[in-house]
A and B are shown apart, each in its own frame.
Chain A
Amino acid sequence: MQLDAYLITDEPYYRAIGDEVSLFEMAYASRMPMMLKGPTGCGKTRFIEHMAWRLRRPLVTVACHEDMTASDLVGRFLLDPSGTVWHDGPLTLAVRHGAICYLDEIVEARQDTTVVIHPLTDDRRILPLEKRNELVRAHPDFQLVISYNPGYQSVLKDLKESTKQRFGGVEFRYPDPAVEAEIVSHEAGIDFGLAERLVKIGQRSRNLKGHGLDEGASTRMLIQAGRLIAKGVALPAACDVALVLPITDDADIRDALSQAIAACA
């Protein structure tokens, strides 16, 4: 198989919040295209890695950006001494060989780019490569998954209605404090009580969402802070390094956040 390098061999840790694992399995059974919605650092990518491992499928991940063209997904002709050679893009690779293709932050891509996935996401399941004059029929194992973060995108950036309506959705949010503490404690290797305090701090920073911060501290950030603490850094310093400084450049908000952390501990 061509995509062996994309297979995930060790189980990625994932703590289910609801029934998303079984729902996703059902969706995969019918190869339904899925969208994962939720704020940054809440576990979308970890979830899809876990599912790829569970379903034993290779996972091809593409991080979308605003300069991405359709060729970046589908593939392009390159020039070589003898002329041009076709090079499959990541999407084509996944379609041909039956991988799960994960388009991360899909709304970042230009809208004219995202329409290439349309024929793949209805019952046709085909990918026309117009430049090669080829029609690739999707491998039976192929599934398309996209992720996007509804809050952080600007009002002008949104998925086209015709794109949206092709997907089933799974919503992610920051888990309940107890569950989040469990995750932080597991991932960072710190005891539960400390993880609980970090989660409390994280929640305070989420209160500032829209009032100085675009997004509160994610679970990922809390885990990073936890890892520093596990290495022997004191809690305020660890929060400073892992939370306060990266999250904003605004001195006032940084100060407020540091003070809020001081109040929590």
Chain B
Amino acid sequence: MPADPKERTSAPEAARSEIGFSDAERKLKAYLTALWRLHPVMRAAISAPGQSPPRRVTFDGGYIRVPQTYADVQGCGVEPIFRAALAHVAAHLTFTRARWQIGTLKPLQIALVSLIEDARVEALAIREYPGLNRLWAPFHVAEPTGALVAEMLMARLARGLFDPAYRDQDPWVSKGRTMFFDRRLEWENAAISREIGTLLGNDLGQMRIQFNAKTYVVEPAYRDDNAGLWDWSDTPPQEMEDTDVVIESFRVRRTEDESEPHQRRRSQDNDTGAGVAARERPIDADAGVPVARYFEWDYVLGRKHADWTTIVEFEPRRASTVGLDRLLSEYADVENRIRKLIRSTRVARPMRIRRRPEGERLDLDSCIRAAIEYRGGITPDPRVYETSEMRDRDLAVLVLLDASESTKEFVRNTTTTVLSVERAATALLAHAMEGLGDPFAIHAFCSNGRQEVRYYRVKDFNQPYGAAAVERLAGLRGGLSTRIGAALRHAHSEIRGQQAHRRLVLVITDGEPADIDVTDSKYLVEDARKAVQELGHDGIDVFCVGLDGGGDSYLTRIFGRRNAVQIDRIASLPDKLPALYLRLTG
């Protein structure tokens, strides 16, 4: 029965009836990790409407896109083809060290160089793991017969290079095999692929055999489309899903070249030039909605400025989670540990409570103690029972992220920004909280003067932590300043409505409170301190994680010595944050 035409348009839907890549993804990932220590980000490739679905794997650095299904492979199980394909990509990632410049190569030569390179990396991989031979061999089905067209000859050559027992009389195929196997000792060197491939390409050209690069599909099916082997810098790049990551890092690098954010704020006090303002607004230009006004505490006057700050809520942009996933995969170890911790703390466990004056059972230790005391002539302790009690968790948490300009700076010696680390840490923490079943919200803030304290709702208390929330988290961008007091007051009004025994606001910030319309650095610190005190009056705990090595003085001033912790190595934040959370709330 033909399916509804609507359903046929999209690849994943069509594939739903059969087993596809997504079903096997976890297995395959573990397979690559075990054999090659690779932790690539893998995605099922989804075709744009109107286009045919991709037929081959494609990779770019550690990012692999895999067809959801292989339509043109029959006669073997589904999983072996994926495993063979990814083992092949892994061989590339391990043995193809640098990308080639295309230079003056023609499409046919590019295809042939890639083919030789495929054979070379597979030969090296089989040297290390002989069992891979059994994995790849079933896909080499080319026969030494048939028409002399480029595609067929190339499939025959591929088989010839893979399988030394294969017999093929074709002079071109034989030549390729001789050239390849003669240089067995140089297989470690990728340059031979280019050399042999170019020569074979010339031969094929002289044989006047047609080659159509547009319709060419790499054979055998498990091999990738070889896009990852070449440097396409002079050709328009393929649109990657994670372009925003690239763009973001580019943007950060650019702002670093300019003046320091702090200096910039100062300069704006006397210079209100439009150029500066424009530079300060790389953040989304979507209009926000003013939702609340709060007073601010002036420590000099010793009184409040009524209705001083305006909270403007913005819908956080959604972004692809590829970058976040990649960062998270680096912390897979931590995630596992957290998951285990959660498993042990999630259930309301019965706790054995000893030395009770009444209870279900006799406490043997207390009995013995009592008997000893009795015989020793001391009045025995009557508390000789033990009982069990269920300990329940009743807790609501609001995570408040600082998304100011300074979070766009790079973490020392790495290529990740402070904000990315914040995001990864928050994602890990959110996993933990979701697992524990604690109601939680994730909000972020930055400010642009007192009239525009921006507030982003990544996840609210009543929303589930699902794909949409992760996308919003991934979409957070750094910018503007840190007016923390106003944000805390808004967070206060948010968490106040939660019916929980314990309520906690967890602030993650990387810099001293500052804003463009404030010159006295102490002013915002004192205001934030006041806001923390107000939260305390309502029985809401506030805890701060500072990412600024030198921030001890003002963080202690705002949050109190016991409610602030400094993390010097920002890269360790994802490790520390959930642990800290569990300790705070456990």
Which of A's residues lie within 8 Å of B, judged by CB? 69, 71, 76-79, 83-84, 131, 154-156, 204-205, 207-212, 214, 252-253, 255-257, 259-265
For the complex, give the distance between the alpha carbons of A90 and B6 in Å: 74
Chain A CB within 8 A of B340 CB: yes
With A154-B337, A214-B336 in contact, do A260 and B35 touch (Cβ < 8 Å)? Answer: yes
Given contacts A71-B365, A154-B337, A154-B341, is CB(A83)–CB(B375) below 8 Å? yes
Within 8 A of A (CB), among B93-151: 129-132, 134-135
A69, A154, A212: the one within 8 Å of B33 (CB) = A212
Do the beta carbons of A210 and B333 come within 8 Å of each other? yes
> Closest CB of chain B to A213's CB: distance in Å?
8
Nearest CB on B from A76, distance (A): 7
Option from B35, B37, B337 in Cβ contact (under 8 Å) with A155 = B337
- Which one of A77, A256, A261 contacts B27 once the chains associate, using CB atoms below 8 Å? A256
Interface bits B1-37 vs A (CB < 8 Å: 1, else 0): 0000000000000000000000000111111011111
A sample of 13 inter-chain contacts (CB < 8 A) reads A69-B365, A78-B368, A83-B371, A84-B371, A154-B340, A156-B341, A207-B35, A211-B30, A252-B30, A253-B30, A257-B30, A260-B31, A263-B87
7 nearest CB pairs, A to B: A210-B333, A256-B30, A263-B131, A155-B579, A260-B34, A256-B31, A263-B129
Interface centre among B87, B134, B368, B586 (most CB of A within 10 A): B368
Residue of B nearest to A210 (CB): B333
Instruction: Give the residue name and chain of the A residue nearest to B33 (CB).
Output: A211
Complex contact B332–A211 (CB within 8 A): yes
The reply to whether B34 and A262 contact each other, CB–CB distance below 8 Å, is: no
Residue in A76, A155, A255, A262 whose Cβ sees the most chain B Cβ within 10 Å: A155
B372 at the interface (CB under 8 A from A): yes
Q: Is B208 close to A, CB under 8 A?
A: no
Q: Which of B532-562 contact A (CB under 8 A)?
A: none
A265 touches B131 (CB 8 A): yes
From B135, B332, B368, contact of A263 by CB (8 A): B135
User: Which residues of chain A are within 8 angstroms of B582 by Cβ–Cβ distance?
Assistant: 155-156
Q: Using an 8 Å CB-CB cutoff, how does the interface string of B65-102 with A read, 1 for contact, 0 for none? A: 00000000000000000010001000000000000000
Report the minimum CB–CB distance from A248 to chain B (whole Å): 10
- How far, in Å, is B526 (CB) from chain A's closest CB? 35
Contacts of A131 on B, CB cut-off 8 Å?
372
Chain B nearest Cβ from A199, distance in angstroms:
14
Beyond the given pairs A155-B579, A208-B33, A212-B33, 18 more chain A to chain B contacts, judged by CB atoms under 8 angstroms and listed by A's residue number, are A69-B365, A71-B365, A79-B371, A84-B368, A84-B375, A154-B337, A154-B340, A154-B344, A156-B341, A214-B340, A252-B30, A255-B31, A256-B30, A256-B31, A256-B33, A263-B129, A263-B132, A265-B130
Cβ–Cβ < 8 Å partners of B131 in chain A: 261-265
Residues of A within 8 A of B332 (CB): 210-211
Cβ-based interface call for B383 (8 A):
no
Give min CB distance, B432 to chain A, whole Å.
Answer: 11
Cα distance A76–B30 in the bound complex, in angstroms: 50
Q: Which of B31-56 touch A at CB < 8 Å?
A: 31, 33-37, 39
Q: Please name the residue on chain B nearest to A131 by beta carbon.
A: B372
Q: Is B583 an interface residue (CB 8 A)?
A: yes
Task: Write out the residue numbers on chain A whose beta carbons fall within 8 Å of the beta carbon of B586.
Answer: 156
**Is there contact, CB below 8 Å, between B26 and A252?**
yes
Does A77 contact B30, Cβ atoms closer than 8 Å? no
A186 to chain B minimum Cβ distance, whole angstroms, is 26
Distance of A154 Cα from B343 Cα, bound (Å): 12
B368 touching A79 by the CB < 8 A rule? yes
Q: Are B30 and A212 in contact (CB under 8 A)?
A: yes
CB-CB under 8 A from B35, the residues of chain A are 204, 207, 260, 263
A69 to B, closest residue via Cβ: B365
Give the docked Cα–Cα distance between A162 and B365 (Å): 28
The answer to whether B579 and A156 touch across the interface, beta carbons within 8 angstroms, is: yes
Contact assessment for B372 and A211 in the assembled complex, using a CB-CB cutoff below 8 Å: no
The verdict on A207 contacting B34 (CB below 8 Å), with A84-B368, A214-B336, A262-B131 known, is yes
In the complex the two chains form, is B579's CB within 8 Å of A256's CB? Answer: no
Q: A252-B26, A260-B34 are in contact. Are A76 and B368 (CB under 8 A)?
A: yes
**Contact of A208 (CB < 8 Å), options: B30, B341, B583:** B30
User: Which among B33, B134, B371, B372 has the greatest number of chain A C-beta atoms within 10 A?
Assistant: B33
For B365, the chain A residues whose CB sits under 8 A away are: 69, 71, 76
**B151-204 contacts to A (CB < 8 Å):** none
Residues of B within 8 A of A261 (CB): 131
- Which residues of the other chain, B, contact A262 by a CB distance below 8 angstroms? 131, 134-135
Closest to B130 in A: A265
Docked complex Cα distance between A261 and B134 (Å): 13
Complex Cα distance, B29 from A263, in Å, reads 15
With A84-B368, A205-B34, A211-B30 known to touch, is A264 a contact of B336 (CB < 8 Å)? no
Please name all residues of chain B whose beta carbon is closer than 8 Å to the beta carbon of A265 when the two chains form the complex: 130-131
User: Which residues of B from 324 to 366 have beta carbons under 8 Å from A?
Assistant: 332-333, 336-337, 340-341, 344, 365
Question: How many whole Å from A228's CB to the nearest CB in chain B?
Answer: 19
Which residues of chain B from 403 to 445 have any CB-CB distance to chain A below 8 Å in the complex? none
Chain B, residue nearest A155 (CB): B579
CB < 8 Å: which of A207, A210, A257, A260 contacts B336?
A: A210
| Closest residue of A by beta carbon distance from B26 | A252
Q: Which residue of B lies closest to A84 (CB)?
A: B372
Q: How far is B332's CA from A210's CA once the two chains are assembled, in angstroms?
A: 6
How far apart sit A262 and B84, CA to CA, in the bound complex (Å)? 13
When the two chains form their complex, are residues A207 and B33 in contact, meaning their CB atoms are under 8 A apart? yes
Task: Give complex CA distance A76, B341 in Å.
Answer: 33
In the complex, A201→B326 CA distance in Å?
Answer: 27
A209 to B190 CA separation, bound complex (whole angstroms): 31
Considering the chains assembled together, what is the distance between the CA atoms of A252 and B368 in angstroms? Answer: 51
Contact A256 B368, beta carbon cutoff 8 Å:
no
CB distance from B45 to the nearest CB of A (A): 21
* Cβ-defined contact, A208 with B34, below 8 A: yes
Chain B residues near A208 (CB-CB < 8 A) = 30, 33-34
Q: Which residues of A contact B87 (CB under 8 A)?
A: 263
Contact partners of B333 in chain A: CB under 8 A: 209-211
